[in-house]
Structure 1
Amino acid sequence: MATADYDVVIAGGGMVGASLALCLHQHSGGALRVAVVESFPLPPLSVEQPEYRPSFDARSTALSYGSAEIYRQLGLWPQLAEKLATIEAIQVSDRGHFGSVLMEKADLGWPALGYVVENAWLGNSLLRYLRLNTAVEFITPARVEAVELTASRATLTLNCGEVAESRSASLLVVADGAESGLCERLGIHRHVDDYGQTAIIANIGTEKPHGGTAYERFTADGPLAMLPLTPDVSGMSRSALVWTFAEDRADEAMAWSEEEFLRRLQEAFGYRLGHLRKLGQRACFPLTLSCADEQIRRRLVVMGNAAHALHPVAGQGFNLALRDADSLAKILAKARQSGKDIGDLAVLKSYLNAQQGDQRLTTLFSDRVTKIFSNRQPLLSLARNLGLLVLDVSAPLKSRFTARAAGIVNGRGGDAANG
């Protein structure tokens, strides 16, 4: 029987796919042959670190404390840390009501509760590290058009421009996003819970520095988050806004002038950051909780937003995907070392069994927080605010809530992926 071209092929070279490639390389000591298929061409690689000038409108991702520990173990953290905003506290409040809770890094004795990184910096750092320090192969620009899963391998038909190529792997990982065309072609269905909400995202320039505080505010329109960012090139303090609206109000909010948008945001958010001075480019997208009905088959794993796409306000989606990637890579590396077939269903079931508890709790946490704080019924509002008060004065409850929000499973940081 001929050997497959690769041990693992990852369909999708975004932040999840690239992170998985790094996990596979590091945890196997380079023993696993890994390829990444990505539809966008890679930029030329220079040995010198290119100058990075952050745009005011750059999109960003919140990295939990647990995710930071994973990147530290992978060796990527020193480069990432150059362009990070630290989350030192999280304030949760309910507009117009008395309940609130302040979670601080001192509650758990950590250096930070999390970090916010611009997507371009995280993505470029991952790709640069992989290309300079590993043997991971990038097949780009290309996409997986068809897959045949057999007892011995996954055979892939790649569209490389006008040329069709065939490659084989012991395992295919699908990480091509929430609207995964590959999952659709494989007949993997999704369960979708529509929140009836639309998120508007933008960066906001503020009068006062954020001081490392992230804000979760629940308003009459829906949950609102303001996450700390590094200053822009002019030195203006920035925060990343995620503001949810009912579907029938989102178009109206997108049409507001900059002055009107900032006025209404100021009214909803308050003056914790002083006057809101600048509004970046706005983007909007409908919000759903979307989970694939299957995450594994023989020779196949579905990962990232293709496996579970969560509401963005709780900031759990990418962090859960990174814990999945770290766990899968450790299990595959151990299987390879033991002489097992890494595409065997029993090996992949051990991964799913290891992660299902974390996935279930994280999905439930994100979903319940969203639904509870989107409901404006008076009795529920009272109960919600009493709950926030209890959480604020109960150190054990606050620590557990903070740990879950920070991506720590069973009290473990770097080992969170195995929780």
Structure 2
Amino acid sequence: MKQHDTDIIIAGGGLAGATLALALSRSLPQLRVTVVETFPLSPDALPDSYQPSYDARSTALAWGSRLIFEELGLWQRLAEHATPIRHIHVSDRGHFGATRLNAADHQQEALGYVADNRWMGLCLMRELLQTNVVWQAPAEVTDMQPIADGVRVTLGADDGERQLTAQCLVVADGGRSGLREKLGFRVNEQAYNQHALIANVSTSQSHNYTAYERFTDAGPMALLPHGSPTRAGNTAALVWTLDSEALDELLALSDDDKCQRLQQRFGWRLGRFARIGECSHYPLTLKTVDESVRPGVVLVGNAAHALHPVAGQGFNLALRGLMVLVEQLRLATGQQQPLGSLSVLKAYQNRHRQDWQQTVRFSDSLIQLFGTNLPLVTGARDAGLMGLDLLPGAKRWFARQAMGLGGRRAEIRTPGTTATERSSDE
């Protein structure tokens, strides 16, 4: 096999790219992994202690994602600032349908967790500094050409361009990067004609570790428990779906008026909304790539599929896909196959396809089902929510989707262990 400058180049060192780099270092320490990122990795940038910010953006981690981070040896540190979700309450505003999920009913300490993005990034960086992963930063991948048994990647940096050869390029720089399109991947887009407003809020009543999913005639909203992992506080992470006109109107309001508007839409289950933090927003579009691989290149994370945040499954789906990719690369290494060969990457795509298709359908169907106010449809979905609350089998299925255990996932294995795959149904 031809010698390259490195084995794997990961374009993007965010949560997906950094997690993949760590997983590869755990499972395949003999591989040379290079991460290309616009922000430098430096021990000086890592604080001695983490102080959560009120306005910190966060991510919902399913129970299945916790299991993956445990296998990576990262969960113990992550858990220091990960708020558990012990209850999920799903309701349809103005209608009688509702369903409730409780972790204790499934013999788990939590259904999922909420962790600040910055905290997850710091935990990953600390671990990566202890590995042989090479960090090319600040730099970005600007182009790629296929070569024998691999790719030649062009890196753009402040000091000019340079090139690296590798067996495989992994595009992990998110759904808004232009690298995916520049490389010629065809993206399917379905605009929801809505925006997601993200902010942290304070309420007069404790969240009691409950995540609320509230469907309204103007779009879904979610409130996730946020703050201390050991004390049920009064801070929640808000994801509020709005159309363009409503978003512009809301952003023009004072913070007090924003809280009042939120009160009208969500109700009083958490008491009075007392404070809303810094608001950010982005347009909602379902993006998928049917063929996310080609010789020497594979898309992962939001570069391969970007979902509506209604079910909180985007990063969890990406994480499961990363583990499947690592397992496929491990098998290829054992069989001395080129890591960027189309047969290897196609095998990864086929193994991950059912999971991402099922997760996309699950998330998109919620939007379609709760996005109409036709009497027959509203009656059916209210009956469905009540049915979930009354039928153990249906409720168990719904809980497994929420916990990120609906599909299969590959295990991370350290050298010397056998190749097996565990079903989430075990």
Q: How many Å separate the matches in 2 of 1:356 and 1:282? A: 35
Secondary structure at 1:214 match in 2:
strand
2:69–2:75 contact (8 Å) kept in structure 1:
yes
Scaled by the length of structure 1, what TM-score is found? 0.95
Paired residue type of 1:65:
W
Of residues 302, 315, 318, the one that matches 1:318 is 315
Q: Report what 2:82 is aligned to.
A: 84
Of residues 338, 353, 356, the one that matches 1:356 is 353
Query: 1:86-133, CA deviations, whole angstroms, 9 ceiling, x for partnerless residues?
Result: 00011000111100000111232222100000000001111111112x
Task: Tell me by how many angstroms 1:373 deviates.
Answer: 1.3
Task: Tell me by how many angstroms 1:2 deviates.
Answer: 4.4
Q: Report what 1:148 is aligned to.
A: 145
Task: Tell me by how many angstroms 1:236 deviates.
Answer: 6.0
Of residues 113, 116, 119, the one that matches 2:117 is 119
Gaps of 5+ in 1: none
Task: Tell me by how many angstroms 1:417 deviates.
Answer: 8.6
Shift of the 417–396 alpha-carbon distance from structure 1 to 2, 3 Å rule, reads closer
Cα root mean square deviation, aligned: 2.1
Task: Tell me by how many angstroms 1:188 deviates.
Answer: 1.1
Secondary structure at 2:237 match in 1:
strand
Query: 1:141-188, CA deviations, whole angstroms, 9 ceiling, x for partnerless residues?
Result: 000111001232110111121321110110000011111211121111
Q: How many Å separate the matches in 2 of 1:394 and 1:411? A: 24
Q: Report what 2:4 is aligned to.
A: 4
Task: Tell me by how many angstroms 1:45 deviates.
Answer: 4.1
Greater shift, 148-157 or 402-411, is seen at 402-411
Paired residue type of 1:13:
G
Q: Report what 1:226 is aligned to.
A: 223
Matched, 1:75 2:103: no
Q: Report what 2:415 is aligned to.
A: none
Shift of the 231–97 alpha-carbon distance from structure 1 to 2, 3 Å rule, reads same
2:153–2:164 contact (8 Å) kept in structure 1:
yes
Greater shift, 333-342 or 165-174, is seen at 333-342
Q: Report what 1:331 is aligned to.
A: 328
Matched, 1:261 2:258: yes
Greater shift, 307-316 or 408-417, is seen at 408-417
Shift of the 341–413 alpha-carbon distance from structure 1 to 2, 3 Å rule, reads closer
Paired residue type of 2:117:
N
Q: How many Å separate the matches in 2 of 1:257 and 1:238? A: 19
Q: Which runs of 4+ in 1 moved over 4 A?
A: 410-419
1:224–1:313 contact (8 Å) kept in structure 2:
yes
Matched, 1:65 2:63: yes
Equivalent pairs: percent with the same residue? 44
Paired residue type of 1:318:
F
Shift of the 411–354 alpha-carbon distance from structure 1 to 2, 3 Å rule, reads closer
Q: Report what 2:100 is aligned to.
A: 102
Shift of the 214–81 alpha-carbon distance from structure 1 to 2, 3 Å rule, reads same
Query: 1:284-325, CA deviations, whole angstroms, 9 ceiling, x for partnerless residues?
Result: 111010112430001110011110000012101100000000
Paired residue type of 2:32:
R
Secondary structure at 1:6 match in 2:
coil
Q: Report what 1:379 is aligned to.
A: 376
Shift of the 418–351 alpha-carbon distance from structure 1 to 2, 3 Å rule, reads farther
2:324–2:409 contact (8 Å) kept in structure 1:
no
Paired residue type of 1:227:
L
For 1:8-19, what aligned pairs fall within 5 Å after superposition? 8-19=8-19
Secondary structure at 2:68 match in 1:
helix
For 1:284-323, what aligned pairs fall within 5 Å after superposition? 284-323=281-320
Task: Tell me by how many angstroms 1:410 deviates.
Answer: 4.5
1:198–1:245 contact (8 Å) kept in structure 2:
yes
Scaled by the length of structure 2, what TM-score is found? 0.93
Of residues 128, 131, 134, the one that matches 2:129 is 131
Secondary structure at 2:52 match in 1:
coil
Paired residue type of 1:131:
L
Q: How many Å separate the matches in 1 of 2:91 and 2:410? A: 27
Q: How many Å separate the matches in 2 of 1:383 and 1:178? A: 34
Task: Tell me by how many angstroms 1:412 deviates.
Answer: 7.2
Matched, 1:342 2:339: yes
Secondary structure at 1:56 match in 2:
coil
Task: Tell me by how many angstroms 1:247 deviates.
Answer: 2.5
1:355–1:417 contact (8 Å) kept in structure 2:
no
